[in-house]
């Protein structure tokens, strides 16, 4: 253990009779995927630096059921949802933050009808609120002057109309934010949504993530910023497919901020 | 005998509107073959949506060229139809330009109709060139063969004919207004900024001939309008009516929120309730839906069926669909067209069998829409965002996926593996739930 991440669990908090300001919903990708784990840690470093009182569910967290629902398995989705709601309600969770737009969308929009009512925020919106409240400062650091383009995750953008928070954060890094020809409401999917992440694509003449990477490379960025672990994987694969990994990096906004602050 | 015209006109109107309302009733019945869904909440937001999107054309102008041309044709259609009121009154009561007493207001109205008529003709010509000359890709997709392709052009030709008849009618009318010492009942009324240039066409013709021509144009114009109105039923052009209810009843929830299946909730709650008696009698059949998800049009809800009738086949959904852009079989427009075609087929079956649907061994799934199309969807909502009249092809795709998975267990194998993992490990991958916090101590 080379770094000191402070990651309390809800169970530990409860044992101490404490309620954190926010519950960090890590998500399956954030917990298990090697690339996404880096995003999780970057976000935790920022939370630690900003002295945010937070806790994770740890081993008590389970898949939100999003991919099951989008694959058409409403039974499995609702079983997952009800189990998670039971745990969340037992801890009297009020506010949830997550770095995964799929978890965000499901927890925010699809859990209420099953009895789970929480204030759910995406990590970019949460970081923006920390910034606005003066609890977090963002400087350019190593990214000063770099060209960055932001790929809108469908489940953050079109699905929930969050377009500005991630862009506001990127601009704080003193970089040149360049927009792809399709962005915001007109953004193009990375190809992973709707449970596509877990299956092969149907026959066609191109992969969606390659098409989207072409959109991004067209504006000649140094960095493609993402706000979703799945988009991150898809865009990273796309950049590799185009053999551009030496010159173009794909990074989550939490990583950009954590790295800029040398956290 | 002088009333013959008026009686003929009344008969024409009754036939025209009668057939129209008969077909509207059929559409109403077909839409209500769908299951019920409550879309009556929050009327203020719904009216606002309708005003903004259907009346205000806010989503049309996302593509500015088509948007502006469409607004011209739309305004032309709505405003010129004010003229229809005068035509109907004149026709029924044998009057001539009954609203002429409005004076300057009338003159301005007629003048603006004329200008709009010309603009409409211009817009329609550009539309025709885009469709048939430039051949915009979205108008040449595989699903746009045969009738859908012809339908689009018929509408354009129709509009040129109707607008031309309107201008010719005015021009010949103006000619008779200008006969020295007056001619018959042709009073001086209206300003004719456009048809004054057509009017010389009638110079040298006997007044009686021009009179017959005027009346011919008038009759052709009103008959044309009635025929056009009745053509709507068979055409994608039905959107000029249904865009309004369709935007009103559209889903108000965030696009990412898929609907909750309450029938499933009941069963899951029962499954998870530790106090439930495992030997209790099965729930009453009325509580259990006959089917989870949708395999045919009757399993869809009425808003989805209204969507299908409203679809204009403009293809904006398909041109923005990531699956379609990468050469996959999915086309959201085709999903809507297939749904409408199947619904029409079911409707005809019911008509032919005295109000009862006789199974025809066909379903929307498989006979129209294949599983391959359904599985190509990334649920990114680009099609829903794009649709100028708030149709959701995604909701139909999702309901059909639900049928494939919950009724037929026919998900692609990797998805079955993903679902098994969620069930057993609480994650779509094969990791142990107990390892969920391992990242904390890893480098």
Report pLDDT digits (tens) over B317-347: 999 999 999 999 999 999 999 999 999 999 9
- Tell me if A215 sits within 8 A of A188, measured CB to CB: yes
Can you tell me the distance from the alpha carbon of B328 to that of B397, in angstroms, rounded to the nearest whole number? 15
Q: Give residue B3's pLDDT.
A: 83
Residues B243 and B266 in one domain: no
User: Mean per-residue pLDDT for B421-438?
Assistant: 96
Q: Is the pLDDT of residue B192 over 60?
A: yes
Last residue of a domain, one of B248, B279, B313: B248
Q: What residues in A contact B264, CB-CB < 8 Å?
A: 74-75, 78
Domain regions of chain A by residue span: 10-130, 138-261
Q: How close does chain B come to A122, measured CA to CA in Å?
A: 14
Supply the pLDDT for residue B166.
95
**Proportion of chain A above pLDDT 70, given as a percent:** 99
Following CA atoms A99, A102, A107, A112 in sequence, which dihedral angle do they give, to the nearest 10 degrees?
Answer: 150
**3-state SS assignment for residue B20:** helix
Q: What pTM was computed for the model?
A: 0.94
- Which of B260, B330, B395 best tests the A interface by mutation, with the highest count of A CBs <10 A? B260
Regarding whether B397 and B322 lie in a shared domain, the answer is: yes
B327 phi and psi, to 5 degrees?
80, 15
Residue B261 neighbours by CB distance under 10 Å: 21
- The predicted pLDDT at position A104 comes to 98
3-state secondary structure B339-379: HHHHHHHHHHHHHHCCCCCCCCCCCHHHHCECHHHHHCCCC
Given A26, A160, A195, which is nearest B256 (Cβ)?
A160
Cβ separation B254–A82 shorter than 8 A: no
Q: In this predicted structure, what is the pLDDT of residue A55?
A: 98
The reply to whether B396 falls in a domain is yes
pLDDT of residue B280 exceeding 70, the answer is no
Contact A186 B437 (CB under 8 A): no
Distance, in Å, from the CA atom of B207 to the CA atom of B148, rounded to the nearest integer, reads: 44
Q: How many angstroms away from the CA of B390 is the closest CA of chain A?
A: 14
Looking at residue A2, its pLDDT comes to 47
**Do the domains A10-130 and A138-261 sit in the same CATH topology, yes or no?**
yes
Q: How far apart are CA A24 and CA B95, in angstroms?
A: 76
Q: Is the Cβ–Cβ distance between B378 and B322 less than 8 Å?
A: yes
Query: Chain B residue with minimal CA distance to A37?
Result: B439
Contact call for residues A74 and B406 (beta carbons, < 8 A): yes
Give the pLDDT confidence score for residue B1 in this predicted structure. Answer: 44
Helix and strand element counts for chain B (H, E): 17, 0
Residue B39 lies in a domain: no
Q: Model confidence at B282, in pLDDT bands (50, 70, 90)?
A: low
* Lowest-confidence region among B14-28, B136-150, B301-315, B412-426: B136-150
Evaluate whether residue B37 is within a structural domain. no
Instruction: Note whether residue B281 is domain-resident.
Output: yes
In a domain, B11, yes or no: yes
Query: B443 or B141: whose pLDDT is higher?
Result: B141
Q: pLDDT digit string (tens) for A211-243?
A: 999 999 999 999 999 999 999 999 999 999 999
The predicted structure's pLDDT at residue B354: 93
Q: Do residue B218 and residue B270 come from a single domain?
A: no
**Do B200 and B342 have their domain in common?**
no
Q: State which residues form the domain around B175.
A: 3-31+63-248
Fold of A10-130: Rossmann fold (3.40.50)
> B426, A32: Cβ pair inside 8 Å?
no
Q: Which CATH number fits domain A138-261: 2.40.50, 3.40.50, 1.10.3470, 3.40.390?
A: 3.40.50
Inter-chain CB proximity A72 and B325 less than 8 Å:
no
Average pLDDT, chain B: 93
Whether B50 is in a domain gets the answer no
Identify whether residues B227 and B79 lie together within a single domain: yes
Prediction ipTM score: 0.95
How many domains, chain B?
2
Which CATH number does the domain housing residue B370 bear?
A: 1.10.1060
Provide the pLDDT for residue B288.
59
Both B244 and B362 in one domain: the answer is: no
Domain-located, residue B231: yes
* A-B C-beta contacts closer than 8 Å: 215
Residue A97: phi and psi, rounded to 5, are -120, 140
**Is the pLDDT reported for residue B9 higher than 50?**
yes
B48 found inside a domain: no
**Between chains, do A37 and B377 touch, taking CB under 8 Å as contact?**
no
Q: B280 with B412, same domain? A: yes
Residues B240 and B208 in one domain: yes
Q: Please indicate whether, in this complex, the C-beta atoms of B323 and A204 are within 8 angstroms of each other.
A: yes
Pair A154, A187: CB distance under 8 Å: yes
| Nearest residue, CB atoms, B379 vs list A110, A194, A200 | A194
CB B350 within 8 A of CB B357: yes
- For residue A30, list chain B residues with Cβ-Cβ distance below 8 A: 439
pLDDT of B287 > 60? The answer is no
Question: Quick one: B280 and B226 in the same domain?
Answer: no
Please check whether residues B95 and B226 belong to one and the same domain: yes
Q: Are residues B296 and B422 in the same domain?
A: yes
* Residue A161 backbone dihedrals phi, psi, to 5 degrees: 55, 35
């Amino acid at each position: 253990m080379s770094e000191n991440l402070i990651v309390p669990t809800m169970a530990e908090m409860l044992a101490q009779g404490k309620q954190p300001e926010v519950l960090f919903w890590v998500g399956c990708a954030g917990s298990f995927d090697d690339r996404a784990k880096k995003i999780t840690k970057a976000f935790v470093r920022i939370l630690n630096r900003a002295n945010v009182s937070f806790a994770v569910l740890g081993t008590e967290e389970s898949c939100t059921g999003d991919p099951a629902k989008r694959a058409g398995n409403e039974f499995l989705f609702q079983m997952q949802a009800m189990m998670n709601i039971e745990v969340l309600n037992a801890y009297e969770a009020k506010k949830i933050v997550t770095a995964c737009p799929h978890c965000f969308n499901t927890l925010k929009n699809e859990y209420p009808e099953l009895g789970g009512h929480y204030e759910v925020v995406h990590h970019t919106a949460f970081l923006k609120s920390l910034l606005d409240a003066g609890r977090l400062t963002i400087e350019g650091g190593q990214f000063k002057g770099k060209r960055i383009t932001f790929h809108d995750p469908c489940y953050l953008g079109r699905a929930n109309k969050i377009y500005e928070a991630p862009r506001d954060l990127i601009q704080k890094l003193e970089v040149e934010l360049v927009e792809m020809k399709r962005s915001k409401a007109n953004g193009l999917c990375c190809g992973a949504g709707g449970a596509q992440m877990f299956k092969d694509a149907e026959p066609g003449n191109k992969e969606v993530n390659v098409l989207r990477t072409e959109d991004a490379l067209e504006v000649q960025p140094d960095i493609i910023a993402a706000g979703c672990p799945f988009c991150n994987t898809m865009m990273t694969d796309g950049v590799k497919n185009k053999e551009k990994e030496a010159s173009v990096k794909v990074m989550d906004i939490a990583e950009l901020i954590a790295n800029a602050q040398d956290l | 005998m002088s009333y013959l015209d008026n009686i003929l006109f009344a008969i024409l109107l009754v036939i025209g509107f009668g057939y129209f309302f008969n077909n509207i009733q059929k559409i109403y019945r077909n839409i209500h073959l769908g299951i019920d869904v409550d879309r009556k909440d929050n009327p203020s937001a719904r009216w606002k949506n309708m005003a903004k999107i259907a009346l205000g054309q806010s989503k049309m102008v996302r593509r500015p060229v088509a948007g502006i041309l469409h607004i011209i044709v739309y305004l032309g259609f709505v405003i010129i139809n004010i003229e229809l009121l005068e035509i109907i009154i004149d026709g029924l009561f044998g009057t001539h330009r009954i609203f002429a007493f409005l004076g300057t207001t009338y003159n301005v109205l007629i003048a603006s109709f004329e200008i709009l008529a010309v603009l409409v003709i211009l817009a329609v010509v550009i539309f025709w060139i885009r469709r048939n000359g430039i051949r915009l890709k979205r108008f040449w997709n595989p699903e746009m063969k045969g009738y859908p392709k012809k339908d689009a052009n018929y509408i354009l030709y129709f509009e040129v004919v109707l607008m031309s008849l309107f201008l010719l009618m005015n021009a010949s009318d103006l000619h008779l207004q200008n006969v020295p010492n007056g001619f018959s009942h042709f009073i001086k009324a209206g300003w004719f900024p456009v048809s004054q240039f057509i009017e010389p066409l009638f110079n040298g013709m006997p007044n009686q001939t021009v009179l017959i021509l005027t009346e011919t144009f008038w009759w052709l114009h009103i008959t044309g309008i009635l025929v056009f109105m009745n053509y709507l039923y068979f055409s994608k052009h039905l959107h000029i009516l249904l865009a309004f209810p369709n935007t009103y009843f559209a889903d108000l929830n965030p696009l990412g929120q898929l609907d909750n299946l309450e029938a499933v909730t009941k069963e899951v709650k029962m499954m998870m309730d530790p106090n439930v008696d495992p030997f209790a009698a099965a729930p009453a059949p009325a509580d259990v839906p006959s089917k989870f998800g949708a395999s045919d049009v009757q399993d869809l809800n009425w808003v989805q069926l209204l969507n299908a009738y409203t679809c204009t086949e403009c293809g904006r959904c398909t041109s923005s669909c990531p699956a379609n852009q990468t050469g996959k079989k999915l086309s959201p427009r085709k999903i809507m067209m297939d749904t409408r075609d199947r619904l029409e087929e079911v409707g005809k079956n019911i008509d032919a069998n005295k109000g009862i649907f006789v199974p025809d061994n066909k379903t929307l799934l498989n006979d129209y829409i294949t599983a391959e199309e359904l599985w190509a969807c990334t649920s990114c909502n680009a099609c829903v965002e794009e649709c100028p009249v708030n149709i959701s092809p995604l909701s139909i795709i999702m309901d059909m996926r639900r049928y494939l998975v919950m009724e037929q267990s026919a998900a692609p194998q990797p998805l079955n593996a993903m679902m098994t993992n969620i069930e057993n490990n609480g994650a779509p991958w094969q990791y142990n739930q107990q390892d969920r916090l391992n990242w904390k101590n890893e480098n």
